[in-house]
Amino acid sequence: MLGNTRQRVVFAGLFEKPLSVEFTQPSQSSDGGVVLLRAMDEKMGLTRRIAEALGDGRQPGKVAHRLEEMLRERIYGIACGYPECNEIARLAHDPAMKLACQGEAKGSHDAPGRQDERPLASQPTLSRLENAPSRTALMRVAYAMTDAVIDREKFRHRKRSVRRLVIDMDPTDDPTFGGQQLTFFNAYYDNWCYLPMLTTLRLDDEAEQFLIAPVLRPGNAKGSLGAVSILKRLLPRLRAAFPQAQIYVRMDGAFATPEVFEWLEAQGLVYVINMAKNPVLKKLAERLMKRVRRLVKKTGHTEKEYAEARYKAGRWKHKRRVVIKAEVTVSEDEPEKEPRDNPRFTITNLPLAPKNVYRFYRQRGDMENRIKELHHGLRFDLTSCPEFEANQFRNLLTAAAYMLYQQIRQDLGHTDCEQAQVWTLRERLIKIGVRIRETVRRIVIEAPQAYAWWTTWRRLAIALDASP
């Protein structure tokens, strides 16, 4: 077996007796919780939808690894902390990963959950998979992933109507360090990069912002590039799934263009969009800023006030409502520093008081946490393939892993993991040392009796249709 070729290590002076560590157990795995990812995947039908969107043009007689199996290997590998193809390929003989990727669900054409003697796909095979999809196929995959999330949320809210949908759109940078196709220098980020755009969906007052439309863009892309196209794709699906919901859109200053405003208004959408400072806006805010400066001199602390006005930029066809936050900040750590003006502006048609409009806009700040999870928890920025389409596919696979984690987190409400980040969920629920054995009637996963998070794990498993 694979493990028998590995040398042991000995700690001769650590304890009273020499301690020998041997990597020789073929039936054990350190990723025993990967079955939770498979169970959630079956609930969503995520990899099945992606496989159907891609299609498989290979000759059946020459296929060693089914397309859905390879997609599971890649997506579950990213979720388990192996973002590179060569890292996941090292687990080709891992029993838990093989069970999750190769085992067929109940009702399929093969025996339910039966373990396969074949190893999982190798690094060259997975690399060919990443480089195979065309741009059209990738678009179909993106549509399929969006539908998987919307259908899951529609089912989850089947007993109560959703009244509010909030769409957040935000660009982020993906630094590049090679000769990747369509990587460019971006002056704003002061780096060579791609410029992905992420779109999330929040339902009513729930905390989760579900990723529904990740798009990789060239490094020199205009901030609003693709925004209207994505919304055109999303709106019919959202309105069909949640017909009673009012749709709100929040965006940062990169999207404050006449085309975006006009399209949102034509669709009857409520929007709150940040607007970059300019001399005209500063002049509108000056009277309020003077009042706040006087207030800061009296209190010695940061102060802010809110107001609104009508504003028309150069290429706009008509005036729009601008909400002004006049703020003067005082450094608590260095009070000897001069107070700093910090006026902010948002363009909106939301019929609320200015302070409440800005409070609603500030909630999109949680989008930064979603971006951090993708970058630091799942390596969303690992776009090292030479071809742009291959890097887009990597982004989609990473997004699929994140979608699984978001749905898992949603099922962990009122537990100690309900607000856990991706890396915490992985450490607590996925990274479990287990032994796997198969009998005539069942497959048994034996986990440590002293496992610290077994109550949370068991609750999640039951939510995913396991029997207590």
Please state, as a whole number, how many other Cβ atoms lie within 10 Å of the Cβ of residue 251: 26
CA distance 70 to 82: 14
Helix (H) or strand (E) run with residue 391 in it? helix 388-410
* pLDDT 10s digits, 102-115: 976 554 444 444 55
| Domain spanning 135-277+362-401, CATH class | alpha beta
Place 468 in a pLDDT band, splitting at 50, 70 and 90. confident
What's the confidence (pLDDT) of residue 105? 56
Residue 345 confidence (pLDDT): 97
> Residue 320 in contact with residue 349, Cβ under 8 Å?
yes
At 110 the pLDDT is 46
Provide the pLDDT for residue 366. Answer: 86
Predicted structure pTM score: 0.93
Calpha distance 268→223 (Å, rounded): 23
Do residues 209 and 126 lie in contact, with contact meaning Cβ atoms separated by under 8 Å?
no
Mean pLDDT of the chain: 93
pLDDT digits (tens, 9 = 90+) for 296-349: 999 999 999 999 999 999 899 999 999 999 999 998 888 778 999 999 999 999
Q: Which of helix, strand or coil describes residue 337?
A: coil
Query: How high is the pLDDT of residue 337?
Result: 85
How do strand 191-194 and strand 184-186 relate by DSSP bridges?
Answer: antiparallel
What whole-number distance in Å separates Cα of residue 283 and Cα of residue 281? Answer: 5
Pinpoint the residues of the chain covered by CATH 3.30.420.10: 135-277+362-401
